[in-house]
Amino acid sequence: MAEYDDHGSPVGDEETIDVRQMFLDWLTNHLSTVEVIGTKPTPWCTQWWLHPEVVARFKALWQASMQADASVMDGDAGAVSSWWINHWDRHAATIFDSTNGPFRDCDADQGHLHRRKDKLAGVIPITLPTEDMPL
C-alpha cells in the first residue's frame, strides 16, 4: 500500500540527495589531488571530523567551490582561480599549520590528539556578559 504525506504527496518517490556524501566525495577527491605527503610531515588527523573548526572550514571551502563552479558556468572564467587564492590557500594555511593549526596535537600515525594528556578537544569556556553591559 502506498504511503502519503500530510499534503497527499506520495512518500518515497522523490530522489533524495545525500549532501553529506557529496561533501565527503568532494573532500576526498580534493585532498587526494592537492595535499600529498612530502618530505616534511603534513599536520593531519585521521579523525579530522572530530575537529569542529576543520569541519566548518572544509564545509565552507566546499560551498565556495560549488559557487565558483556555478560562476564559471555563468561566464566568470576567473572564479575557480579566485577560489584557490581567496579560499583554499587561506584555509589550508590555517588547517595545516603545524604550530597553531587544529591538528597541532594530532599525529597522522599515532592518532587524534596524540600529543595531549587529556585527549579531549575542549571548547574555550565562555561566560556571557551581564544584561547591563553595553554591547
Does residue 83 form part of some domain?
yes
pLDDT, tens digit, 9 for 90 and up, residues 93-119:
999 999 999 999 998 888 888 887 765
Does residue 59 form part of some domain?
yes
Instruction: Return all residues near 26 (Cβ < 8 A) that are at least 6 apart.
Output: 62, 65
pLDDT, tens digit, 9 for 90 and up, residues 64-86:
999 999 999 899 999 999 999 99
Residue 90: which domain range? 49-103
Does residue 28 form part of some domain?
no
Global pTM?
0.74
Nearest to 54 by CA among 91, 99, 105: 91
- Longest CA–CA separation in the chain, Å: 61
Does residue 29 form part of some domain?
no
> Domain count of the chain?
1
